[in-house]
Amino acid sequence: MIREDMGRFITGAPVSGEGRDGVGLLFKQSGPGWLLLFAGLLFFLISGCAQLELTPVASPATGVYHPGKFVWYDLLTDDVEGAKNFYGNLLGWTFTTRGRYTVIANDKQTIGGVVEVKSKDKEKHAARWLASLSVADVDRAAAFVRQAGGVVHEGPVDKAERGRMALVSDPQGAQLVLMHASSGDPEDLEAAIGSWLWVELWSNDPESSLAFYKKLGGYHVLGWNDNYWLLETDRWRAGVRLIAEKDLEARWVPTVRVADTIVTSRYAEMLGGKVLVEPGDASNNESAALIKDPAGALFVVQQWEKEPVAGGGDHD
């Protein structure tokens, strides 16, 4: 039986453009400048023309796969040094440079990467986190994305050490990487402080999003309330949250586990970030906060005492 106390993590509150400090403005549909920037990233990350030396997603290799699990996160930013300073001080992450790719480690365990993306139109674009979803067959998954009305931007292609990948947008425009890692997927372990705790899709058309991801990830869908749904395989893997406004941009938003959400939020502001949703602002959930890093990337920090399994809730 899935533990009911996971509900403390899920607020179920819809995100609105009327939220604190105009949170909704961050999700307005991106103009052509961002699309060009994203297209450039795809060329760099997938085609390898920017000499990105990618690393395995599981180290040591596991040889085990968990289709439907989000296994890796890349930060796309035009300020790599700024990102290292912000996240290193805030979360204790360390960084290793491999060519134009920077590997993120939490307590010596690799958990993600940083990709420098420079805009050619001289316009300032917000950074963002890009999530990678484990799938059994990247080619088949990419074909389904295209058939369902999404976009396959680059790939599928094999990348040394990383595995087979494709960069796609779902039919509502949320970007993600489809991946079958050469190392196998990271184990389902307790989420350590500073590691990924959860991820959720913010969608203004959750009915369509749920239908799409049920087929893409092989999920069962559990309704938490009228505004929030869970995507489940052998365990809870992700959430889908309603964004009420139709002109807001869909995206995947990751969550990092922290020891104290209030302290982390205050420190984020000292480091140049902005707290968009304070602890307690969303359905009185004092353990979670939405933060924008200095370059504009959004992520959630969450205090969690029960130590859920990374990638979703656990089972008794």
What residue ranges do the domains of the chain occupy?
4-29+188-303, 32-181
pLDDT for the residue 211: 97
Domains 4-29+188-303 and 32-181 in one fold: yes
Decide if 177 contacts 161 (C-beta within 8 A). no
Decide if 95 contacts 108 (C-beta within 8 A). no
Tokens 């931007």 locate to: 153
What are the pLDDT digits (tens) for 266-291?
Answer: 999 999 999 998 886 555 456 889 99
pLDDT for the residue 228: 93
Query: Confidence band (pLDDT; 50, 70, 90) for 118?
Result: confident
Rounded to an integer, the average pLDDT of 245-260 is 87
What is the homologous superfamily of the domain 32-181 according to CATH?
2,3-Dihydroxybiphenyl 1,2-Dioxygenase, domain 1 (3.10.180.10)
> What CATH architecture is 4-29+188-303?
Roll (3.10)
H-type helices in the chain, by residue range? Answer: 32-47, 80-91, 138-147, 206-217, 261-270
pTM for this one?
A: 0.84
pLDDT for the residue 44: 53
What are the pLDDT digits (tens) for 137-147?
Answer: 999 999 999 99
Query: Confidence band (pLDDT; 50, 70, 90) for 89?
Result: very high
pLDDT of 24 > 70? The answer is: no
What gap in Å lies between CA 12 and CA 182, rounded to an integer? 36
pLDDT for the residue 99: 83
pLDDT of 59 > 50? The answer is: yes
- Mean pLDDT for the chain overall: 82
What gap in Å lies between CA 83 and CA 85, rounded to an integer? 5
pLDDT of 305 > 80? The answer is: no
